[in-house]
Chain A
Amino acid sequence: SQQGEEDPQALSIQEGENATMNCSYKTSINNLQWYRQNSGRGLVHLILIRSNEREKHSGRLRVTLDTSKKSSSLLITASRAADTASYFCATDASGAQKLVFGQGTRLTINP
């Protein structure tokens, strides 16, 4: 079963706009990670934020984490057509090694 939910399930925006995806989870975590998956391919690791961090940046990516609300958001600024993909958040519960993924957000960037 999935750990939580991602919102929205699908997002379509124009190139150059910002895209925001949200993730909620259920249990206490060590860290939360975001992955990107192009259609039919493997997952690419984007960014990891630890449970004691509130915000992290990597290039055009900004991730926030609110452990009191058990939620995270991923912001992609100045979107490009190449950002079209599915985005997944994944958490590891305290003491566990496995990742538990959400159902993902399908992002489409229109040129």
Chain B
Amino acid sequence: DTGVSQDPRHKITKRGQNVTFRCDPISEHNRLYWYRQTLGQGPEFLTYFQNEAQLEKSRLLSDRFSAERPKGSFSTLEIQRTEQGDSAMYLCASSRASGSSSEQYFGPGTRLTVT
């Protein structure tokens, strides 16, 4: 399967713990995005990379959140000192770079529950 993959699919953690999620984009895509989605809402943008460079971060991305894409391939999203409000679906997407935006292809998401 050559789609976007995310790991783990589900994560339950206790408040105050750190968690890390991984995203593997479609191999020929050099743009990678992270979004967060809460119940009943549409996804909200968190950050995006072009190759290994993190080019934009949302104000939603507090200092407890950090994302990396060290070799321009897979990416990790870490949340430190998790809070109950961090409970959400974390979605990763990838796309080709083009003059204007192109279709973004989403992974299945990681559902985080903070207890």
Contacts and interface: CB of A to CB of B under 8 A. Distances in A.
Interface of A: 2, 30-31, 33, 35, 40-45, 48, 50, 88, 90, 92, 96-104
Contacts of B103: 33, 45, 48
Contacts of B29: none
Nearest to A4: B42
B42 A101 contact: yes
Contact of B42 (A2, A31, A44): A2
A104 B41 CA distance: 7
Contacts of B91: 42-43
B106 A43 contact: yes
Interface stretch (B43-51, B70-78, B80-88): B43-51
Interface of B: 4, 31, 33, 35, 40-45, 48, 50, 55-56, 58, 89, 91, 93, 100-109, 111
Contact of B33 (A40, A88, A98): A98
Contact of A41 (B48, B50, B109): B109
A85 to B, nearest CB: 13
A44 B89 CA distance: 15
Secondary structure dominating the interface of A? strand
Nearest to A9: B40
A3 B12 CA distance: 30
Given A41-B108, A99-B45, 16 more contacts: A2-B42, A2-B44, A31-B100, A43-B93, A45-B103, A45-B104, A45-B105, A45-B106, A88-B42, A88-B43, A92-B100, A97-B56, A98-B45, A100-B45, A103-B40, A104-B41
